Amino acid sequence: MDVGAIDRSATLGTGPLRSADPRSKLVALALVLGAVLVSWNALVLASFTIALLAASVWGRLPVGLAIRLAAYPAVFALVFAFASAPDAMTASVIVLKATTAALGAVTVVLSTPYPQVFAPLQRITPGIVGDAMLMTYRSLFILLEKFSNLLRAARLRAGLAGKNPVRSARVVFSALGGLMLYAVDLAQRDYDIMRVRGYEGRLRTTPAGSTNRLADVTILVGSLVMLATSVVWRSAATTLNPYSWLAPLPALAALGLTFALRRG
């Protein structure tokens, strides 16, 4: 997983989704997750997945990266479905639920800087939890760079790319052990520095406002439509299920339109 690419997409890109209010995106994500939980129709869930892909294209997000990130939980869901689902249809629903929920979360993460994702959550979480999430973001990049340097040094000094897998594994685990010690030391030094600078148990992050109200309205209305579709299809399943093939058509049309507009 390229954490650097995720951060670049969230902080350096442009597009309607990035200019929307982070709180609107979190509310929209909650509505999408509600729609995913309610629905047990594979074609309806597939239409939600396509709609989220259309939102990624419309928001000028790296669609390939979004698909790769959403594929991680899809693989685990596939294993779970293979082990527990009684039939192929139930298995497909399980995988689609995981994929759609993951794609919704990925869309938010790729369009919102990490501190702004957790800024609204700081208001409802204990202080230490919110601070830990913010500091984890900073430390993650430091540790990734440190681990990359350790592996590079191991290749140069011990021939990590050589023919001896046992020796290579030993060097990798030694690097991981050194990285763990470095992480502990980094955490202690960060805490000491924060205390010296006046840290009193709370880091404040101000949520960014919206610079595109139309984008806020669009994502909220779109997520409400998804939730309403899920609820209506679930409550009238006997009547609507024969017409399930119609559900993905509007999403496919939206995806085609967004691709056309992006290329234009």
Confidence of residue 163 (pLDDT cuts 50, 70, 90): low
Is residue 201 in some structural domain? no
Domain boundary among 148, 169, 196: 196
7 and 109, same structural domain?
yes
Domain boundary among 147, 173, 196: 196
Number of structural domains found in the chain: 2
Is-contact 23 120, C-beta < 8 A?
yes
126 and 20, same structural domain?
no
107 and 214, same structural domain?
yes
What is the rounded average pLDDT of the residues 189-211?
A: 70
- Residue matched to tokens 């030694």: 174
Q: What is the dihedral of CA 15, 73, 241, 85, to 10 degrees?
A: 180
109 and 214, same structural domain?
yes
User: pLDDT tens for residues 103-145?
Assistant: 999 999 899 887 787 777 777 777 666 677 667 766 766 777 7
Is-contact 143 182, C-beta < 8 A?
yes
Domain boundary among 147, 174, 196: 196
36 and 13, same structural domain?
yes
88 and 7, same structural domain?
yes
39 and 91, same structural domain?
yes
Confidence of residue 173 (pLDDT cuts 50, 70, 90): confident
Instruction: Supply 241's token pair.
Output: 């299920």
Q: Which residue range(s) make up the domain with 39?
A: 3-113+209-263
Instruction: Supply 112's token pair.
Output: 């919102």
**Alpha helix ranges (H) inside 39-126:** 42-58, 63-84, 88-111, 114-122
102 and 32, same structural domain?
yes
pLDDT score recorded for residue 1: 55
Residues 6+ apart with CB under 8 A from 68: none
* CB atoms inside a 10 Å sphere around CB 26: 19
218 and 103, same structural domain?
yes
